[in-house]
Amino acid sequence: MTGDKSPEFLAGLAPSLHEASRFEGPDAFYATLVKKLEAAGDDGALQFLCRLVLILANEVGHQDTLLAALGRAERKPQSSDNL
């Protein structure tokens, strides 16, 4: 069915996401993002992030990559007790 998880995805063969950075200017991007979130205020920030996700998701387009990204975002950060 269009828009649903592909058989490869269900079989655990989801595309692996990039672990290495692909940002051309990570510090500049992060600083700009923070500025825009702070300028938007708490409620405005939620709207801003929703809109940003939609725009970026359309740029990615590929269904399995999007689903893998949703799964990655859902994952809790690993414990840092050993640091």
Partner 1 sequence: MQFPAAPLPKGAAAGPERVQVVIAGAGLVGLTLAIDLTLQGVPAVVLEKRDAAGEGSRSICQAKRTLEIWDRLGAAAPMLEKGITWKTGRVFHRDRLLYSFDLLPESGHKMPAFINLQQFHVEAALIDRLYALGGAVRWCHELTGVDPHEKNVSIAVQTPAGSYRMDTDWLVDCEGARSLVRRALGLQFGGEVFADKFLICDVKMGHADFPSERWFWFEPPFHTGQTALLHRQADNVWRIDLQLSPEADPEIEREPARVTERIRRMLGHSDFSLEWVSVYVFQCRTLERYIHGRVVFAGDAAHQVSPFGARGGNGGVQDADNLAWKLVRAVDGRASPRLLDSYDAERRTAAYENILNSTRSTDFMSPKTKASRALRDEVLALAAEAPFARTLVNPGRLSVPAHLTDSPLNTPDRESWSTGQFAPGSPAFDAPIHSPAGKRWLLELLTGQFVLVLQPDQDEQLIPEQIPIDGERVTVLALGRDLEDEQDVLARRYNLLPGSAYLFRPDQHLVARWRHWSVRGVEEAARKALGQS
**Residue of 28, 30, 31, 47 that binds partner 1 (CB under 8 A):** 47
The answer to whether residue 50 forms part of the interface with partner 1 (CB under 8 A) is: yes
- The span from the CA of 31 to the CA of 73, in Å, is 21
Pull the structure tokens for residue 41. Answer: 């205020």
The answer to whether residue 32 forms part of the interface with partner 1 (CB under 8 A) is: no
Alpha helices (H) along the chain: 7-10, 26-60, 63-74
Shortest separation between residue 2's beta carbon and partner 1, angstroms: 8
Q: Who's near 63: CB < 8 A, 6+ residues apart?
A: 3, 6
Residue span 51-70 as binding mask against partner 1, x where in contact by CB under 8 A, dash where not: x-xxx--x------------
List residues near partner 1 by CB under 8 A: 1, 4, 46-47, 50-51, 53-55, 58
